[in-house]
Structure 1
């Protein structure tokens, strides 16, 4: 098998691509993945880290998920509920999901609407410590209507009602396994958290926290031709450079994740010919956050505190001025940062949501090109006068 190394790509997508061309379950043998940050649990409700979310996504599944272009796909559900098909109420206060019939958990039992209701109750229990509670906001009730229908009633109209049970942040847990693990007992349920029973293409057969996970193909998976691999080894630990070496130079691993390695080092490793570097761009953005509040130590307990709601009475002395922030942005040469730090794994973005294309905005694209002259013009026009020492001040 050709070794592949990638910078940003989800585990579920990688496995989906591999399995889509296979005709027989497990025909491709063993797949070895290397994440230099190792998962600490297989329960995504107790950890919001990417490594846990991606590892658990091959076992636990949601009613719907997104493809690489941002389109929502029915997964465990028969279809995406809409106002047009009657799945979303006209007043936008409820959504009704219909679960596909015949889906089984890896232990052979049937997936039912009761499992979805239980998942909601598990995660909204304040003592559970669920990291995904924001996916269950504004809900009045979640009820099972028969064995394959789930109705979510909201407390307010929801123009976009697709958070609960959608995506790998909000998968369905098996009630029979996790009942009794709600609330304060959630962290104590080691067996359940390390070896969750799922509906996905794989099941966990060995879990060593912060080290390695061994998966085997789920014999009860709904598609008899998937997964392509009969065994999946998810190794964690080390660092990005050693992960790259394990794929590109030694060939001991098939895939390595999130390789923040100097571009010239990565290119040199690729010359060994054992693997291919692939850059797949997602929604992750590295950025500088601006402090809108006054950081003066003289303020004591009010230092860097946001006071006064929308009318902040503790504003930063210069970063609160939009013209200053815009000038700073225009003064940055982002291409140098991309070339030096990321190489082919980086792209310039002026927005916190750069992808997928159907959601991306071009509203702030002026930042892509450094423009010192415009930055100075903005500051001059806003009254920030340059002194003989090169430092600008306003009204002082």
Structure 2
């Protein structure tokens, strides 16, 4: 173990709280491997790592609707053109260089783009990777017959032209500041596997993904694990592992037990739970770190449900949510309370939002004033609508389940009946979530594309799959003012001006409360001390952002 690791391996609870509470803190110095060590490309990979997730990756085409855990697989199998490092800067992957105004890749007005690609890259099946694959991937996201996970940004791309196998250009119909960040989270797929396929939603990628990434898909045992093997022809440094196994352990207590016993080498999503932090710090042969994430926890509403149409109801429920007790009692004070979706480490974070107040008396008064009357059973009703609804999350996440029970009790104090309806991960975050089939949820979300503040994909009115949109607005939130501000923010390239816009968006959403913000994640990561490479990166959604660099001694 390095000296630096020894210093960060054993954070006590006080240190963790101090680190997460400090303004602008929350990230430890990243541990870098491949790019800083000048490893030879295509090194002789050896060894195996078992990485555990509490949810199961089920969507293998990265351009289709998916959730965070699916990206745990994508980073290993696929590549984007470029990506964000831990400091928020871009680094090239499939691109030979990151396009900028300075190098001529982007015109000064942001309308003309030129992307140069690496030479000699191949797909896992041996087919050469070319600019045609990039053109196809970008156009596929805009195909009305394809179930795309995002349309934000892509819809502005026009006239994609393949100049050569390693160069392509396009124009933008209007300036769009977040475009580079969106490209950094766009995994490129192989055009040739779609040849002759009538339904682009059904290809071999759905069951056996083919990418250009550091690992090849080997096999999958549904409900248990995915086995990946080293891509010996990878175009960057690494991989340095022969085998990467992604194991699903939905019960978080079981996952921690397997980490303690050594069956798991790296404990990933949902990580070590705060109630195990004190013990985990003392485990021999383990590295344990607390790190900030851009993900926030909330109780989100399906805004199509009549129970939640009235703002007074949502505001009253927020007053009846004792999030301070939840954070302190269940999460041992590790996460940071928040009033917004924007991480506190972001330049665009609005620190002046109204502070949450837990007040049952005021909540009841607000509902009384709004005309919601308690019935004989204590449940409020108005215009034939009972203030009764289900709440769902991942079955087996014991801390969330305890939080639900706590919320259920305080909501009942204001005449709101919340029933708990939890589902297995693959069901919960499948159509039930993506098509807004829920009443309410407890969910962790990262709504950003890397370090860019644009959240159109989650909060623009037109981005709800339940209403025919192609996006992630599963709360079905609709506010014309937010739409207007999102458009303005995406067309502004001046950070100071954008900051004012995104601070206002946060203020409007805080007033509307389509979700009740609870806390920004501070996750407790852990791995065996002979593993090197896992590193915090608030600009990416999951641990495997740099899995090409992981190794073990």
Corresponding position: 1:351 with 2:366: no
Tell me the residue number matched to 1:83: 101
Contact map agreement 2:153 2:176 (CA 8 A) in 1: no
In the TM superposition, residue 231 of structure 1 has moved relative to its aligned partner by 0.8
Give 1 or 2: higher strand fraction: 2
Corresponding position: 1:184 with 2:199: yes
Contact map agreement 2:142 2:155 (CA 8 A) in 1: no
In the TM superposition, residue 289 of structure 1 has moved relative to its aligned partner by 5.1
Give 1 or 2: higher helix fraction: 2
In the TM superposition, residue 179 of structure 1 has moved relative to its aligned partner by 2.6
Tell me the residue number matched to 2:136: 118
Tell me the residue number matched to 1:194: 207
Matched ranges for 1:71-110 at <5 A: 71-110=89-128
Matched ranges for 1:233-312 at <5 A: 233-248=245-260, 250-259=261-270, 263-268=274-279, 271-288=282-299, 295=306
Higher Cα radius of gyration: 1
- Secondary structure of 2:217's counterpart equals strand
Tell me the residue number matched to 2:81: 63
Whole-angstrom CA distance in 1 between matches of 2:199 and 2:46: 42
- Secondary structure of 2:278's counterpart equals helix
Corresponding position: 1:175 with 2:191: yes
In the TM superposition, residue 210 of structure 1 has moved relative to its aligned partner by 3.8
Tell me how many residue pairs correspond in the alignment: 340
Whole-angstrom CA distance in 1 between matches of 2:59 and 2:302: 34
Tell me the residue number matched to 1:367: 355
Residues 220 and 293 of structure 1, relative CA distance in 2, 3 Å threshold: closer
- Secondary structure of 1:145's counterpart equals strand
Residues 22 and 29 of structure 1, relative CA distance in 2, 3 Å threshold: farther
- Secondary structure of 2:255's counterpart equals helix
Whole-angstrom CA distance in 2 between matches of 1:130 and 1:294: 25
Following TM superposition, the consecutive aligned residue runs of length 4 or more in structure 1 with deviations greater than 6 angstroms are: 290-294
Tell me the residue number matched to 1:48: 66
Gaps of 5+ in 1: 6-14, 297-303, 306-314, 385-390, 392-396
Gaps of 5+ in 2: 3-8, 11-29, 371-413, 415-553
Whole-angstrom CA distance in 1 between matches of 2:117 and 2:290: 35
TM-score scaled by structure 1? 0.72
Cα RMSD for the two superposed structures: 3.9
Whole-angstrom CA distance in 2 between matches of 1:56 and 1:156: 30
For residue 226 of structure 2, the aligned residue among 195, 198, 213 is 213
Residues 252 and 61 of structure 1, relative CA distance in 2, 3 Å threshold: same
In the TM superposition, residue 19 of structure 1 has moved relative to its aligned partner by 4.9
Contact map agreement 1:136 1:163 (CA 8 A) in 2: no
Whole-angstrom CA distance in 2 between matches of 1:235 and 1:229: 16
TM-score scaled by structure 2? 0.53
Whole-angstrom CA distance in 1 between matches of 2:358 and 2:64: 45
- Secondary structure of 2:60's counterpart equals coil
Contact map agreement 2:53 2:69 (CA 8 A) in 1: yes
- Secondary structure of 1:46's counterpart equals coil
Whole-angstrom CA distance in 1 between matches of 2:148 and 2:290: 32
Residues 237 and 290 of structure 1, relative CA distance in 2, 3 Å threshold: closer
